[in-house]
A = this chain, B = another copy of it.
Protein backbone atom coordinates (compact mmCIF):
# COMPACT_ATOMS: atom_id res chain seq x y z
CA UNK A 1 0.00 0.00 0.00
CA UNK A 2 2.11 2.88 -1.25
CA UNK A 3 0.52 5.76 0.64
CA UNK A 4 3.56 6.51 2.76
CA UNK A 5 6.50 5.08 0.85
CA UNK A 6 10.07 6.19 0.45
CA UNK A 7 9.09 8.74 -2.19
CA UNK A 8 6.25 10.16 -0.15
CA UNK A 9 6.19 13.94 -0.17
CA UNK A 10 5.01 13.91 3.44
CA UNK A 11 7.90 11.73 4.57
CA UNK A 12 10.35 14.09 2.92
CA UNK A 13 8.62 17.12 4.47
CA UNK A 14 9.27 15.53 7.83
CA UNK A 15 12.85 14.68 7.00
CA UNK A 16 13.58 18.25 5.93
CA UNK A 17 12.05 19.62 9.13
CA UNK A 18 14.04 17.12 11.18
CA UNK A 19 17.29 18.08 9.48
CA UNK A 20 16.68 21.77 10.10
CA UNK A 21 15.75 21.06 13.69
CA UNK A 22 18.86 18.95 14.35
CA UNK A 23 21.24 21.49 12.89
CA UNK A 24 19.71 24.60 14.43
CA UNK A 25 19.03 23.35 17.94
CA UNK A 26 22.40 21.73 18.57
CA UNK A 27 25.23 24.02 17.53
CA UNK A 28 27.81 21.35 18.30
CA UNK A 29 26.67 19.33 15.26
CA UNK A 30 27.74 22.17 13.02
CA UNK A 31 31.00 22.54 14.94
CA UNK A 32 31.72 18.85 14.63
CA UNK A 33 30.88 18.77 10.91
CA UNK A 34 33.13 21.78 10.28
CA UNK A 35 35.98 19.95 12.01
CA UNK A 36 36.01 22.31 14.98
CA UNK A 37 35.53 19.44 17.43
CA UNK A 38 37.91 16.54 17.71
CA UNK A 39 36.51 13.04 17.63
CA UNK A 40 37.25 12.74 21.36
CA UNK A 41 35.28 15.88 22.09
CA UNK A 42 32.42 14.53 19.98
CA UNK A 43 32.30 11.33 21.98
CA UNK A 44 32.18 13.30 25.19
CA UNK A 45 28.68 14.37 24.24
CA UNK A 46 26.84 11.10 24.05
CA UNK A 47 23.92 12.29 21.89
CA UNK A 48 26.11 14.12 19.40
CA UNK A 49 27.50 11.06 17.63
CA UNK A 50 24.00 9.69 17.07
CA UNK A 51 22.75 13.03 15.84
CA UNK A 52 25.61 13.35 13.36
CA UNK A 53 24.88 9.88 12.06
CA UNK A 54 21.24 10.83 11.63
CA UNK A 55 22.13 14.01 9.76
CA UNK A 56 24.33 11.97 7.45
CA UNK A 57 21.60 9.45 6.79
CA UNK A 58 19.05 12.16 6.05
CA UNK A 59 21.39 13.93 3.63
CA UNK A 60 22.06 10.67 1.85
CA UNK A 61 18.36 9.87 1.55
CA UNK A 62 16.89 13.24 0.56
CA UNK A 63 16.86 13.99 -3.17
CA UNK A 64 18.50 17.13 -4.56
CA UNK A 65 15.43 19.44 -4.56
CA UNK A 66 14.71 18.69 -0.91
CA UNK A 67 18.33 19.29 0.02
CA UNK A 68 18.20 22.60 -1.80
CA UNK A 69 15.12 23.63 0.19
CA UNK A 70 16.78 22.57 3.43
CA UNK A 71 19.92 24.55 2.67
CA UNK A 72 17.81 27.62 1.99
CA UNK A 73 16.23 27.30 5.42
CA UNK A 74 19.49 27.31 7.36
CA UNK A 75 21.75 30.07 8.69
CA UNK A 76 25.13 30.43 7.04
CA UNK A 77 27.30 28.19 9.26
CA UNK A 78 24.80 25.35 9.32
CA UNK A 79 24.39 25.72 5.55
CA UNK A 80 28.11 25.25 5.02
CA UNK A 81 28.26 22.27 7.32
CA UNK A 82 25.36 20.56 5.55
CA UNK A 83 26.69 21.36 2.08
CA UNK A 84 29.94 19.60 2.92
CA UNK A 85 27.96 16.41 3.53
CA UNK A 86 26.28 16.46 0.12
CA UNK A 87 27.94 13.93 -2.14
CA UNK A 88 29.70 15.24 -5.25
CA UNK A 89 27.32 13.60 -7.68
CA UNK A 90 24.32 15.40 -6.18
CA UNK A 91 25.89 18.82 -5.79
CA UNK A 92 25.24 20.03 -9.31
CA UNK A 93 21.56 19.25 -9.03
CA UNK A 94 21.30 20.80 -5.59
CA UNK A 95 22.85 24.00 -6.94
CA UNK A 96 20.41 23.98 -9.83
CA UNK A 97 17.41 23.60 -7.55
CA UNK A 98 18.57 26.05 -4.88
CA UNK A 99 17.58 29.66 -5.27
CA UNK A 100 20.09 32.27 -6.36
CA UNK A 101 20.44 33.85 -2.96
CA UNK A 102 22.20 30.85 -1.40
CA UNK A 103 24.66 30.11 -4.23
CA UNK A 104 27.15 32.54 -2.80
CA UNK A 105 27.25 30.69 0.50
CA UNK A 106 27.42 27.25 -1.06
CA UNK A 107 30.22 27.70 -3.54
CA UNK A 108 32.22 29.85 -1.17
CA UNK A 109 34.52 27.06 -0.05
CA UNK A 110 34.76 25.23 -3.40
CA UNK A 111 37.62 25.55 -5.85
CA UNK A 112 36.84 26.32 -9.50
CA UNK A 113 37.91 22.79 -10.33
CA UNK A 114 35.56 21.22 -7.76
CA UNK A 115 32.73 23.41 -8.95
CA UNK A 116 33.18 22.41 -12.59
CA UNK A 117 33.32 18.78 -11.53
CA UNK A 118 30.04 19.19 -9.67
CA UNK A 119 28.47 20.57 -12.86
CA UNK A 120 29.54 17.55 -14.91
CA UNK A 121 26.51 15.58 -13.75
CA UNK A 122 24.15 18.10 -15.40
CA UNK A 123 22.86 18.53 -18.93
CA UNK A 124 24.78 21.05 -20.98
CA UNK A 125 21.92 23.60 -20.87
CA UNK A 126 21.84 23.35 -17.10
CA UNK A 127 25.61 23.77 -16.91
CA UNK A 128 25.39 26.89 -19.04
CA UNK A 129 22.64 28.29 -16.87
CA UNK A 130 24.65 27.83 -13.68
CA UNK A 131 27.93 29.02 -15.13
CA UNK A 132 26.22 32.18 -16.31
CA UNK A 133 24.51 32.92 -13.02
CA UNK A 134 26.84 31.70 -10.31
CA UNK A 135 28.64 34.56 -8.60
CA UNK A 136 31.97 33.41 -10.02
CA UNK A 137 33.20 33.60 -13.58
CA UNK A 138 33.64 30.08 -14.90
CA UNK A 139 32.53 30.72 -18.47
CA UNK A 140 36.04 30.44 -19.89
CA UNK A 141 36.79 27.21 -18.07
CA UNK A 142 33.49 25.64 -19.10
CA UNK A 143 33.99 26.57 -22.74
CA UNK A 144 37.52 25.20 -22.67
CA UNK A 145 36.19 21.86 -21.41
CA UNK A 146 33.82 21.46 -24.36
CA UNK A 147 34.51 19.92 -27.77
CA UNK A 148 35.07 22.60 -30.41
CA UNK A 149 31.83 22.00 -32.34
CA UNK A 150 29.77 22.40 -29.16
CA UNK A 151 31.50 25.62 -28.19
CA UNK A 152 29.90 27.75 -30.91
CA UNK A 153 26.41 26.67 -29.98
CA UNK A 154 27.02 27.28 -26.29
CA UNK A 155 28.39 30.76 -27.02
CA UNK A 156 25.22 31.53 -28.94
CA UNK A 157 22.97 30.37 -26.10
CA UNK A 158 24.94 32.49 -23.66
CA UNK A 159 23.88 35.54 -25.62
CA UNK A 160 20.19 35.11 -24.87
CA UNK A 161 18.89 37.41 -22.16
CA UNK A 162 18.41 36.01 -18.66
CA UNK A 163 14.65 36.08 -18.73
CA UNK A 164 14.26 34.78 -22.27
CA UNK A 165 13.13 31.46 -23.66
CA UNK A 166 16.66 30.81 -24.92
CA UNK A 167 18.05 30.87 -21.41
CA UNK A 168 15.71 28.17 -20.11
CA UNK A 169 15.26 25.90 -23.12
CA UNK A 170 16.63 22.37 -23.20
CA UNK A 171 18.74 21.11 -26.08
CA UNK A 172 17.92 17.44 -25.70
CA UNK A 173 15.07 16.55 -28.03
CA UNK A 174 14.11 13.46 -29.96
CA UNK A 175 13.47 14.22 -33.61
CA UNK A 176 11.91 11.95 -36.22
CA UNK A 177 11.19 12.18 -39.94
CA UNK A 178 7.63 12.61 -41.26
CA UNK A 179 7.69 9.72 -43.71
CA UNK A 180 8.35 6.85 -41.32
CA UNK A 181 5.61 4.69 -39.76
CA UNK A 182 4.63 4.72 -36.10
CA UNK A 183 5.93 1.18 -35.85
CA UNK A 184 9.34 2.37 -37.01
CA UNK A 185 9.22 5.22 -34.51
CA UNK A 186 8.55 2.76 -31.73
CA UNK A 187 11.45 0.52 -32.82
CA UNK A 188 13.67 3.61 -32.92
CA UNK A 189 12.63 4.61 -29.39
CA UNK A 190 13.34 1.11 -28.06
CA UNK A 191 16.78 1.27 -29.62
CA UNK A 192 17.39 4.67 -27.98
CA UNK A 193 16.46 3.03 -24.69
CA UNK A 194 15.60 6.30 -22.93
CA UNK A 195 14.05 9.70 -23.45
CA UNK A 196 14.93 13.08 -21.98
CA UNK A 197 13.00 13.82 -18.77
CA UNK A 198 9.42 15.02 -19.14
CA UNK A 199 9.18 14.02 -22.77
CA UNK A 200 5.54 14.05 -23.81
CA UNK A 201 6.09 14.47 -27.53
CA UNK A 202 8.63 13.98 -30.30
CA UNK A 203 9.48 16.64 -32.87
CA UNK A 204 9.03 15.95 -36.56
CA UNK A 205 11.69 17.68 -38.63
CA UNK A 206 12.92 17.82 -42.20
CA UNK A 207 16.52 16.95 -43.04
CA UNK A 208 17.51 20.65 -42.61
CA UNK A 209 16.03 20.72 -39.08
CA UNK A 210 12.93 22.69 -40.11
CA UNK A 211 10.13 21.80 -37.70
CA UNK A 212 7.27 20.13 -39.55
CA UNK A 213 5.11 19.06 -36.65
CA UNK A 214 4.89 17.33 -33.31
CA UNK A 215 4.01 13.77 -32.43
CA UNK A 216 2.66 13.11 -28.95
CA UNK A 217 3.60 9.86 -27.25
CA UNK A 218 -0.16 9.36 -26.82
CA UNK A 219 -0.61 9.44 -30.56
CA UNK A 220 1.95 6.68 -31.06
CA UNK A 221 0.17 4.49 -28.54
CA UNK A 222 -3.35 5.19 -29.77
CA UNK A 223 -2.80 4.64 -33.49
CA UNK A 224 -2.04 1.64 -35.66
CA UNK A 225 1.64 0.88 -36.25
CA UNK A 226 1.41 1.07 -40.05
CA UNK A 227 0.30 4.74 -40.10
CA UNK A 228 2.89 7.30 -41.15
CA UNK A 229 4.02 10.09 -38.81
CA UNK A 230 2.93 12.78 -41.28
CA UNK A 231 -0.65 11.48 -41.20
CA UNK A 232 -1.15 11.67 -37.44
CA UNK A 233 1.17 14.46 -36.28
CA UNK A 234 0.01 17.90 -35.11
CA UNK A 235 1.15 19.98 -38.05
CA UNK A 236 0.52 23.42 -36.58
CA UNK A 237 1.97 23.25 -33.08
CA UNK A 238 2.47 26.19 -30.73
CA UNK A 239 6.12 27.20 -30.97
CA UNK A 240 8.30 29.82 -29.37
CA UNK A 241 11.41 31.74 -30.36
CA UNK A 242 14.47 32.00 -28.14
CA UNK A 243 14.28 35.76 -27.67
CA UNK A 244 10.72 35.69 -26.32
CA UNK A 245 10.17 36.67 -22.70
CA UNK A 246 9.96 33.64 -20.41
CA UNK A 247 7.21 35.17 -18.25
CA UNK A 248 4.96 35.78 -21.22
CA UNK A 249 5.58 32.27 -22.51
CA UNK A 250 4.65 30.91 -19.09
CA UNK A 251 1.21 32.54 -19.46
CA UNK A 252 0.80 30.78 -22.82
CA UNK A 253 1.74 27.45 -21.26
CA UNK A 254 -0.92 28.05 -18.62
CA UNK A 255 -3.48 29.20 -21.15
CA UNK A 256 -2.95 26.26 -23.49
CA UNK A 257 -2.21 23.61 -20.86
CA UNK A 258 1.05 22.76 -22.62
CA UNK A 259 3.50 20.20 -21.26
CA UNK A 260 6.28 21.04 -23.67
CA UNK A 261 6.79 23.11 -26.79
CA UNK A 262 9.35 23.49 -29.56
CA UNK A 263 11.73 26.44 -29.69
CA UNK A 264 12.53 27.44 -33.29
CA UNK A 265 14.60 30.17 -34.93
CA UNK A 266 13.23 32.73 -37.43
CA UNK A 267 13.55 30.18 -40.23
CA UNK A 268 11.48 27.63 -38.33
CA UNK A 269 14.47 25.41 -37.55
CA UNK A 270 14.26 23.46 -34.31
CA UNK A 271 16.65 24.73 -31.61
CA UNK A 272 15.37 22.92 -28.54
CA UNK A 273 12.31 22.61 -26.35
CA UNK A 274 10.66 24.17 -23.34
CA UNK A 275 9.19 21.93 -20.66
CA UNK A 276 6.53 22.60 -18.08
CA UNK A 277 8.89 21.97 -15.16
CA UNK A 278 11.07 24.90 -16.25
CA UNK A 279 7.92 26.95 -16.70
CA UNK A 280 6.69 26.20 -13.18
CA UNK A 281 10.05 27.45 -11.90
CA UNK A 282 9.62 30.61 -13.96
CA UNK A 283 6.15 31.19 -12.51
CA UNK A 284 7.31 30.78 -8.92
CA UNK A 285 10.31 33.00 -9.52
CA UNK A 286 8.32 35.68 -11.33
CA UNK A 287 5.71 36.04 -8.64
CA UNK A 288 8.26 35.76 -5.85
CA UNK A 289 10.24 38.55 -7.43
CA UNK A 290 7.14 40.70 -7.90
CA UNK A 291 6.26 40.39 -4.24
CA UNK A 292 9.80 41.16 -3.11
CA UNK A 293 10.33 44.02 -5.49
CA UNK A 294 7.11 45.80 -4.68
CA UNK A 295 8.28 46.28 -1.13
CA UNK A 296 11.82 47.09 -2.15
CA UNK A 297 13.55 43.81 -1.36
CA UNK A 298 16.25 42.68 -3.73
CA UNK A 299 15.72 39.33 -5.42
CA UNK A 300 18.92 38.18 -3.73
CA UNK A 301 17.48 38.71 -0.27
CA UNK A 302 18.01 35.49 1.68
CA UNK A 303 15.98 35.10 4.87
CA UNK A 304 18.77 33.20 6.56
CA UNK A 305 21.76 35.20 5.41
CA UNK A 306 23.94 36.69 8.16
CA UNK A 307 23.10 40.17 9.44
CA UNK A 308 25.92 41.90 7.59
CA UNK A 309 24.73 40.63 4.22
CA UNK A 310 21.15 41.65 4.91
CA UNK A 311 22.25 45.14 5.89
CA UNK A 312 24.16 45.46 2.62
CA UNK A 313 21.19 44.16 0.63
CA UNK A 314 18.67 46.59 2.05
CA UNK A 315 20.97 49.57 2.14
CA UNK A 316 19.84 51.19 -1.11
CA UNK A 317 16.08 51.07 -0.54
CA UNK A 318 16.44 52.32 3.00
CA UNK A 319 18.45 55.27 1.74
CA UNK A 320 15.82 56.04 -0.90
CA UNK A 321 13.11 55.76 1.70
CA UNK A 322 14.92 58.08 4.07
CA UNK A 323 15.35 60.62 1.28
CA UNK A 324 11.65 60.62 0.41
CA UNK A 325 10.72 60.81 4.11
CA UNK A 326 13.12 63.69 4.46
CA UNK A 327 11.48 65.54 1.56
CA UNK A 328 8.06 65.01 3.12
CA UNK A 329 9.46 66.33 6.37
CA UNK A 330 10.73 69.46 4.59
CA UNK A 331 7.25 70.04 3.18
CA UNK A 332 5.84 70.02 6.71
CA UNK A 333 8.65 72.25 7.88
CA UNK A 334 7.59 74.80 5.26
CA UNK A 335 4.27 75.07 7.08
CA UNK A 336 5.82 75.48 10.54
CA UNK A 337 4.07 78.79 11.02
CA UNK A 338 0.67 77.25 10.20
CA UNK A 339 1.19 74.34 12.59
CA UNK A 340 2.34 76.57 15.43
CA UNK A 341 -0.95 78.49 15.02
CA UNK A 342 -3.05 75.33 15.03
CA UNK A 343 -1.34 72.33 16.62
CA UNK A 344 -4.30 70.06 15.81
CA UNK A 345 -3.02 69.98 12.22
CA UNK A 346 0.00 67.95 13.35
CA UNK A 347 -2.15 65.12 14.62
CA UNK A 348 -4.54 65.15 11.66
CA UNK A 349 -2.04 65.24 8.80
CA UNK A 350 -0.90 61.59 9.10
CA UNK A 351 -4.50 60.48 8.50
CA UNK A 352 -4.59 62.26 5.14
CA UNK A 353 -1.20 60.86 4.15
CA UNK A 354 -1.93 57.34 5.41
CA UNK A 355 -5.24 56.90 3.65
CA UNK A 356 -3.63 58.08 0.41
CA UNK A 357 -0.80 55.58 0.78
CA UNK A 358 -3.26 52.76 1.36
CA UNK A 359 -5.36 53.54 -1.71
CA UNK A 360 -2.29 54.19 -3.85
CA UNK A 361 -0.80 50.84 -2.90
CA UNK A 362 -4.02 49.00 -3.70
CA UNK A 363 -4.28 50.67 -7.09
CA UNK A 364 -0.65 50.07 -7.98
CA UNK A 365 -0.84 46.40 -6.95
CA UNK A 366 -3.83 45.87 -9.22
CA UNK A 367 -2.26 47.63 -12.16
CA UNK A 368 1.03 45.76 -11.84
CA UNK A 369 -0.85 42.45 -11.88
CA UNK A 370 -3.05 43.50 -14.79
CA UNK A 371 0.08 44.49 -16.72
CA UNK A 372 1.63 41.09 -16.03
CA UNK A 373 -1.54 39.45 -17.36
CA UNK A 374 -1.40 41.66 -20.48
CA UNK A 375 -4.89 42.90 -19.64
CA UNK A 376 -4.10 46.56 -20.16
CA UNK A 377 -4.35 47.66 -23.76
CA UNK A 378 -4.43 51.12 -25.32
CA UNK A 379 -8.20 50.75 -25.66
CA UNK A 380 -9.08 50.20 -22.03
CA UNK A 381 -6.45 52.43 -20.47
CA UNK A 382 -8.58 55.56 -20.15
CA UNK A 383 -11.40 53.48 -18.68
CA UNK A 384 -8.98 52.33 -15.98
CA UNK A 385 -7.90 55.84 -15.02
CA UNK A 386 -11.47 57.08 -14.88
CA UNK A 387 -12.55 54.05 -12.90
CA UNK A 388 -9.82 54.38 -10.28
CA UNK A 389 -10.46 58.10 -9.93
CA UNK A 390 -14.18 57.45 -9.63
CA UNK A 391 -13.54 54.98 -6.82
CA UNK A 392 -11.24 57.50 -5.16
CA UNK A 393 -13.80 60.27 -5.48
CA UNK A 394 -16.58 58.24 -3.87
CA UNK A 395 -14.33 56.94 -1.11
CA UNK A 396 -12.97 60.42 -0.57
CA UNK A 397 -16.40 61.96 -0.21
CA UNK A 398 -17.76 59.19 2.02
CA UNK A 399 -14.76 58.61 4.29
CA UNK A 400 -13.47 62.15 4.02
CA UNK A 401 -16.96 63.25 5.01
CA UNK A 402 -16.94 60.99 8.04
CA UNK A 403 -13.47 62.10 9.11
CA UNK A 404 -14.44 65.71 8.50
CA UNK A 405 -17.42 65.32 10.78
CA UNK A 406 -15.32 63.61 13.45
CA UNK A 407 -12.76 66.42 13.21
CA UNK A 408 -15.49 69.04 13.50
CA UNK A 409 -16.84 67.32 16.59
CA UNK A 410 -13.38 66.70 18.18
CA UNK A 411 -12.03 70.21 17.71
CA UNK A 412 -15.38 72.00 17.52
CA UNK A 413 -14.17 73.68 14.33
CA UNK A 414 -16.37 73.23 11.22
CA UNK A 415 -13.79 74.84 8.95
CA UNK A 416 -11.08 72.43 10.08
CA UNK A 417 -13.51 69.60 9.32
CA UNK A 418 -14.08 70.98 5.83
CA UNK A 419 -10.34 71.23 5.16
CA UNK A 420 -9.91 67.66 6.37
CA UNK A 421 -12.55 66.36 3.98
CA UNK A 422 -11.30 68.31 1.00
CA UNK A 423 -7.69 67.21 1.65
CA UNK A 424 -8.72 63.57 1.82
CA UNK A 425 -10.64 63.75 -1.44
CA UNK A 426 -7.75 65.43 -3.22
CA UNK A 427 -5.09 63.10 -1.85
CA UNK A 428 -7.12 60.02 -2.78
CA UNK A 429 -7.45 61.38 -6.32
CA UNK A 430 -3.68 61.94 -6.51
CA UNK A 431 -3.06 58.46 -5.09
CA UNK A 432 -5.28 56.69 -7.60
CA UNK A 433 -4.08 58.70 -10.58
CA UNK A 434 -0.44 58.04 -9.69
CA UNK A 435 -1.22 54.42 -8.85
CA UNK A 436 -2.24 53.93 -12.47
CA UNK A 437 0.31 56.22 -14.09
CA UNK A 438 3.50 55.12 -12.27
CA UNK A 439 3.45 51.46 -13.37
CA UNK A 440 2.26 52.41 -16.85
CA UNK A 441 5.10 54.89 -17.28
CA UNK A 442 7.66 52.45 -15.92
CA UNK A 443 6.47 49.84 -18.42
CA UNK A 444 6.62 52.40 -21.22
CA UNK A 445 10.21 53.17 -20.20
CA UNK A 446 11.00 49.46 -20.45
CA UNK A 447 11.39 48.98 -16.70
CA UNK A 448 9.78 46.42 -14.43
CA UNK A 449 6.71 48.12 -12.94
CA UNK A 450 6.94 46.10 -9.75
CA UNK A 451 10.35 47.35 -8.64
CA UNK A 452 9.93 49.68 -5.68
CA UNK A 453 6.50 50.81 -6.83
CA UNK A 454 5.21 50.67 -3.27
CA UNK A 455 8.03 52.88 -1.99
CA UNK A 456 7.40 55.36 -4.78
CA UNK A 457 3.65 55.69 -4.32
CA UNK A 458 4.01 56.02 -0.56
CA UNK A 459 6.53 58.82 -1.03
CA UNK A 460 4.11 60.61 -3.35
CA UNK A 461 1.04 60.23 -1.18
CA UNK A 462 2.93 61.27 1.96
CA UNK A 463 4.46 64.38 0.47
CA UNK A 464 1.29 65.16 -1.47
CA UNK A 465 -0.94 64.54 1.52
CA UNK A 466 1.04 66.84 3.81
CA UNK A 467 1.24 69.54 1.16
CA UNK A 468 -2.46 69.42 0.28
CA UNK A 469 -3.68 69.34 3.87
CA UNK A 470 -1.33 71.99 5.28
CA UNK A 471 -1.70 74.12 2.14
CA UNK A 472 -5.49 74.09 2.40
CA UNK A 473 -5.25 74.84 6.12
CA UNK A 474 -3.00 77.82 5.45
CA UNK A 475 -5.42 79.12 2.80
CA UNK A 476 -8.67 78.69 4.71
CA UNK A 477 -7.90 78.62 8.42
CA UNK A 478 -5.32 81.32 9.13
Contacts and interface: CB of A to CB of B under 8 A. Distances in A.
Contact of A321 (B16, B276, B355, B406): B355
A353 B350 contact: yes
A377 B70 CA distance: 10
A3 B268 contact: yes
Interface in A273-318: 276-277, 279-281, 283-284, 287-288, 290-292, 294-297, 301, 303-304, 306-307, 310-311, 314, 317-318
Given A217-B217, A239-B2, A318 B358 contact: yes
Contacts of A114: none
24 contacts: A9-B238, A16-B374, A21-B377, A24-B377, A66-B255, A74-B380, A75-B380, A194-B222, A199-B218, A200-B200, A200-B259, A220-B221, A276-B280, A287-B287, A291-B291, A303-B384, A304-B384, A314-B362, A314-B391, A317-B358, A318-B359, A325-B350, A329-B347, A340-B340
Contacts of A369: 288, 291-292, 303
A332 interface: yes
A375 B71 CA distance: 9
A387 interface: yes
A213 interface: yes
A98 to B, nearest CB: 12
Contacts of A466: 350
Identify whether the interface residues of A are mostly helix, strand, loop, or mixed.
helix
Q: How many copies altogether?
A: 2
A383 B78 CA distance: 12
Interface string A391-409: 1001100010011001000
A279 B458 CA distance: 35
A318 B392 CA distance: 11
A468 interface: no
A340 to B, nearest CB: 5
A448 to B, nearest CB: 14
A426 interface: no
A477 interface: no
Contacts of A350: 325, 328-329, 332, 350, 353, 462, 466
Contacts of A23: 379
Contact of A210 (B1, B200, B237, B359): B1
B295 A361 contact: yes
Given A197-B257, A318-B399, 17 more contacts: A9-B252, A73-B377, A73-B380, A192-B222, A254-B281, A259-B276, A291-B365, A292-B369, A301-B366, A314-B391, A325-B354, A326-B403, A328-B354, A332-B350, A339-B346, A345-B346, A361-B454
A160 B311 CA distance: 45
Interface in A35-73: 63, 65-66, 69, 72-73
A189 interface: yes
A387 B268 CA distance: 53
A138 interface: no
A22 B380 CA distance: 10
A355 B197 contact: no
Contacts of A2: 211-213, 235-237, 239, 268
B321 A189 contact: no
A110 interface: no
A446 interface: no
A419 interface: no
B236 A390 contact: no
A240 interface: yes
Nearest to A314: B362
A257 B236 contact: no
Given A211-B2, A365-B297, A256 B65 contact: yes
A150 interface: no
Which 6 A-B pairs have CB atoms at the shortest separation, nearest pair first? A287-B287, A24-B379, A332-B347, A73-B375, A1-B268, A346-B346
Contacts of A326: 351, 403, 406
Nearest to A308: B394
A151 interface: no
A400 to B, nearest CB: 10
A122 interface: no
Contacts of A213: 2
